[in-house]
Homo-oligomer: A and B are copies of this chain.
Amino acid sequence: MVENRDRRDRLRDAAIEVLAGEGGRGLTHRALDRVAGLPEGTAKNYFPTRDSLLRAAAERCVERYWSDLQQAEVHDVDGLLTLLRRMIDRALTDNRSRILAYLELHAEAARNAQVRETLARLTRADLDLHLAAQRAAGLPATRHGAATVTLAINSALTYLLTQPPDVLAAYGLDDLDAFLARLVSTAYPPA
């Protein structure tokens, strides 16, 4: 059973890597076996259809998002800004493949109800996380304030992964600490 779970997770991680590196077009059973270093036929055995592959990738994105959140401890606005900065830094490094796969899966979600439902869990959790972190920071947090911050940060992540430096500078994304401080104080103006 442990080995089964391990193989399953290796395949799901491989699905994220393949989506990030080659897009939905590259997501084949053969590619997954190769990237996961497993015998040909393994991916087909665990995830027989293309839809089940896409759903597996989306579920793995959500799981990895969750496991990434455990460390967060916030007591004030500085702590909140540190958390947000760390989230972005990790999105551009350790979590880069997951965020790129997530972009790819979002395009897929418009066509595929199961992928849509899986990603929706992440989108809900994302808002709840921001709201809880803003409360923990002592801000007068509201769902609307949290929505503004969450929406702006998610576009910012997409741009950081897909836009050239001059565009990032135009959006103020060349100085992430300043960007985040401004965003939070825009959503919650100091009294």
- Residues in A lying within 8 Å of B, measured CB to CB: 20-25, 100, 103-104, 106-111, 116-117, 119-120, 123-124, 127, 143-145, 147-148, 150-152, 154-156, 158-159, 161-164, 166-167, 170-172, 182-183, 186-187, 189
| Closest Cβ neighbor of A171 among chain B residues | B147
Given contacts A25-B25, A107-B23, A155-B155, contact A150 B171 (CB under 8 A): yes
**Cα separation A187 to B186 with both chains bound (whole Å):** 6
Q: Are B164 and A120 in contact (CB under 8 A)?
A: yes
Q: Are A110 and B120 in contact (CB under 8 A)?
A: no
Q: Are B106 and A103 in contact (CB under 8 A)?
A: yes
What is the CB-to-nearest-CB distance from A103 to chain B, in angstroms, rounded to a whole number? 4
Q: Are B103 and A107 in contact (CB under 8 A)?
A: yes
**Cα separation A111 to B106 with both chains bound (whole Å):** 17
Q: Secondary structure at chain A's binding surface: helix, strand, loop or mixed?
A: helix
| Closest Cβ neighbor of A162 among chain B residues | B109
Say how many copies of this protein the assembly contains.
Answer: 2
Q: Which residues of B lie under 8 Å from residue A103 when comparing CB positions?
A: 103, 106-107, 110
Q: Which residues of B lie under 8 Å from residue A150 when comparing CB positions?
A: 155, 171
The 4 closest A-B pairs by CB, nearest first: A151-B155, A109-B162, A151-B152, A25-B25
**Cα separation A123 to B183 with both chains bound (whole Å):** 19
A106's partner among B120, B144, B158 (CB-CB below 8 A) is B158
Q: Are A120 and B156 in contact (CB under 8 A)?
A: no
What is the CB-to-nearest-CB distance from A131 to chain B, in angstroms, rounded to a whole number? 10
Q: Which residues of B lie under 8 Å from residue A20 when comparing CB positions?
A: 110
Could you jot down 24 A-B contacts, CB within 8 Å?
A20-B110, A22-B111, A23-B25, A23-B107, A24-B25, A103-B103, A103-B110, A106-B158, A106-B162, A109-B163, A110-B161, A116-B164, A119-B163, A120-B166, A124-B166, A127-B170, A143-B172, A147-B172, A148-B183, A150-B155, A151-B151, A151-B152, A155-B155, A189-B189
